[in-house]
Amino acid sequence: MKYQQKVKKSRSFLIITILFLTTFLTFKIFKKVNFQDVSIFGSDLFSIEDIVDNSALDFPTRLIFIKTKYIEKELKKNLSLENVSVYRQIFPFGLKITIKTRIPIAYGERIFKGGKITGFIDKDGIFIDEKYTDKENLKKLSTKVFGWKENYSKTLSNILNFQKNNEVEFVTVNYSQNGYLKVEEKVLKTILLGFNPKIIETQLQIIIDIKDQIKEKNILEKIDNIDLSDPSNPKIKVFKP
C-alpha cells in the first residue's frame, strides 16, 4: 500500500515537473528577443546595428518566429562573410550569431550606383567592403582589382590564386566598363585577356610559358603589351623606336 502511494506521488511529481518545464519552455520560445538579447561571436567588426541593417531582423520579435537560415543567407551575402551561423537559444535566452570573416588577398574597387567603393578581394574573388575588413594582413597585399562585379568572382579567384603557386605577380587586374579584362604583370607588364572567362586557365598557363621563354632574353624592356585574347594566336607588341 505504501509502495503504491509512493509510486503515485512520484508520478504526480513527474507530471507536475513536465507540465512546469513545458510551460516554461513555451513561455521562453514565444518570448520577444530584443537588441540586448543578441550576442555576436567570431569578429569585433560587426555591431548589432550592422546585423539588423543587413538582414530582415526587426526587434522586438518572438524567438520562435526568427528564420535563422534566411537570416544567415542575408548576412553572408550583404556583409561578404565566409560563413555565419544564427542560433535561437533558450539558455541563455536570445540569439547567438557566430561570424567568420573573409581574408583579403587583394585591394579592390567596384562601381555602385555611379560611385566608386573601395575595399578588398578574397581568395574566392568576393568583394569585401572596407568597413567590414579585418585590417591585420593588409600590409602583405600587392595586387589591385578594378571594376569588380559579382559575375567576375570566379575568374578573379583563378587569377589571384594562380599567382600564389607560380612565379607571376599581378600588379593590377582591370575590368573595363564593358567587361574587357586586362592585367599588369610585374615583369611582362600589360597583358590583354579579353571577354571570355572560360579560357582564363589556358591564358594563365600561356603567361607562365612566355615568361619562362623570354626571361633570359634581352627583350623584356621592349615589350609594350601581350595579347592573349585568342590563346591559339598570342601576340607580343613591342615598342617601335
Residue 196 pLDDT level (bands cut at 50, 70, 90): very high
Mean pLDDT for the stretch of residues 212-235: 82
Residue 7 has pLDDT above 80, yes or no: no
For 221, what's the count of Cα atoms within 13 Å in the CB-facing half-sphere?
2
Predicted confidence at residue 178, as pLDDT, reads: 94
Give the pTM: 0.83
What would the pLDDT profile of 51-109 be if each residue is shown by its tens digit? 999 999 989 998 889 999 999 999 999 999 999 999 998 888 889 999 999 999 999 99
Torsion of CA 56, 57, 61, 64, to 10 degrees: 80
Query: Domains of the chain, with CATH numbers?
Result: 33-101 (3.10.20.310), 103-238 (3.40.50.11690)
Which one is predicted more confidently, 10 or 170?
170
Do the beta carbons of residue 149 and residue 159 sit within 8 Å? no
Tell me how far apart the alpha carbons of residues 142 and 23 are, in angstroms, rounded to a whole number: 59
Residue 24 pLDDT level (bands cut at 50, 70, 90): very low
Predicted confidence at residue 19, as pLDDT, reads: 53
Residue 9 pLDDT level (bands cut at 50, 70, 90): low
- Amino acid, single-letter form, for residue 61: T
Residue 31 pLDDT level (bands cut at 50, 70, 90): confident
What would the pLDDT profile of 118-174 be if each residue is shown by its tens digit? 999 999 999 999 888 887 768 789 999 999 999 999 999 999 999 988 889 999 999
Predicted confidence at residue 149, as pLDDT, reads: 95
Mean pLDDT rounded to a whole number for the chain: 86
Cis amide leading into 92 (omega within 30): yes
Transcribe 4-71 into DSSP letters.
Answer: HHHHHHHHHHHHHHHHHHHHHHHHHHTSEE-GGGEEEES-SS--HHHHHHTSS--SSEEGGG--HHHH
Radius of gyration of the chain (CA): 28
